[in-house]
Copies of this chain bind each other. A is one copy, B any other.
Amino acid sequence: MPAGEDRLLRWLRDQLDEPLIGDDAAVLPAGGPFAVTVDHQIAGVHFPPGLDEAVIAKRLLAVNLSDLAATGAVPAYGFLALAAPAGFDHKRFFTAFLTACQRFGVRLAGGDLARSDRFTAALTLMGTKVEGGRWLSRGDAAPGHALWLGGTAGESAAGRLLIEQIGLPPSFEAFSSPLRAAARRAVRRHLQPEPQLDLGRWLATRKTGAAMDVSDGVARDLHRLCRASGAGAEIMAEALPLADRFEDLCKTIDADPLALALGGGEDYVLLFTLPEGETPPAGRRIGTITRGREVHLVKNGRAAPLPELGWDHLE
């Protein structure tokens, strides 16, 4: 009788249309060119321990897809290295993972399973180039470009702080009715971000402009974009898009809205630039790319250097 791993792999193969899983390496039917990205999700590091396996699965995929979105790529293949403790519900995880893969056009083509006392997943995704498009890069910003943010900032960090306070699964009872909806949205935004693949593909069809996804905070990632482009930037505090009732929500969790919006991280929206006059299908303009290397924040009409707030994964 086959043992646990072989049994799970057979079940997995049964879920897939034309399984590539089975040999030591997967041979990809499609040629390139490819954009490739890899990202971790580790229990207690990237999400709170005890999270529903189905939510972990969707979060893992979404966070990685956001990197492909930043390249303007069309999702193609996924490779999953999964190490989970005893008792982890693999079928619940994979059912949600494969459903999400199907939604986004990802074909699971390989993986590696292991036991570990701490849940760790590393997902490698490969994407193909948009027809007639280009690859997006964070190094393509030029002075004079308008600087855009694809969605709201800080809400994911507020969701993270909320979970720390109200537990998991979260209990929203302490919130008054209008704030309760905002709190729910923030938790959902933190746990299950929506990758901006359509926006990325649209940007890839433009002639010029830089793009990256905001994973470590708008401030830190903007510094990275400017360094890669050899340019500076000026952003307007008042222009930063915030979620509905975000400021009220921040009060209840004792957080500064601007600090969360600039340095909270895990927003998974695109930060991008476009020549003046071009209007993207999503996002809000938050500033301008400048000559020089300085990054400034304008607040109440006064400009000051923007510190590199945000996440450093090795500190």
Q: From the candidates B34, B38, B46, name the one contacting A111 in the complex (CB within 8 A).
A: B38
Within 8 A of B (CB), among A74-132: 77, 79-81, 83, 90, 109-118, 120, 122, 124-127
What residues of B have a CB within 8 angstroms of the CB of A312 in the complex?
A: 3-6
- Max chain B Cβ within 10 angstroms of own Cβ: one of A24, A45, A46, A77: A24
Q: Are A315 and B5 in contact (CB under 8 A)?
A: yes
- Counting CB contacts under 8 A, is A135 at the interface? yes
A40-B83, A81-B81 known; A25+B139 contact, CB < 8 A? no
Asked if A109 meets B32 with Cβ closer than 8 Å, knowing A127-B25, A224-B6, the reply is no
A32 to B23, CA, bound (A): 18
- Which of B24, B44, B81, B124 contacts A138, CB < 8 Å? B24
How far is the CB of A211 from the nearest CB of chain B, in Å? 8
From B36, B40, B112, give the contact of A25 (CB < 8 A): B36
Give min CB distance, A24 to chain B, whole Å: 4
Query: A26 and B37: CB pair below 8 A?
Result: yes
- A137 surroundings in chain B (CB, below 8 A): 22-23
Is there contact, CB below 8 Å, between A314 and B120? Answer: no
Which of A65-73, A143-151, A172-180, A233-241 is near enough to bind chain B?
A65-73
Indicate if the CB atoms of A77 and B31 lie closer than 8 Å. Answer: no
Which of the residues B26, B83, B136 comes within 8 Å of A120, measured between beta carbons?
Answer: B83
Bound together, the chains give a CA A77 to CA B120 distance in angstroms of 23
A25, B37: Cβ atoms closer than 8 Å: yes
A52 to B: closest C-beta gap in Å: 20
Report how far A36 CA is from B111 CA in the complex, Å: 10
Closest CB in chain B relative to A101 CB, distance in Å: 15
A213 at the interface (CB under 8 A from B): yes
Picked from B5, B29, B308, the residue with its CB within 8 Å of the CB of A3 is: B308
Whole-angstrom distance between the alpha carbons of A83 and B40 in the complex? 8
Q: B residues within 8 A CB of A46?
A: 114
Contact call B118/A23, Cβ cutoff below 8 A = no
- Complex CA gap A235/B157 in Å reads 59
Decide yes or no whether A251 CB sits under 8 A from chain B: no
B residues in contact with A112, CB < 8 Å? 38-40, 122
Q: Most chain-B CB neighbours within 10 Å: which of A37, A73, A80, A113?
A: A37
- In the complex, the answer to whether B23 meets A81 with C-beta atoms within 8 Å is no
CB-CB nearest 9 A-B residue pairs: A122-B122, A81-B122, A25-B37, A4-B314, A24-B70, A24-B67, A31-B32, A3-B312, A124-B124
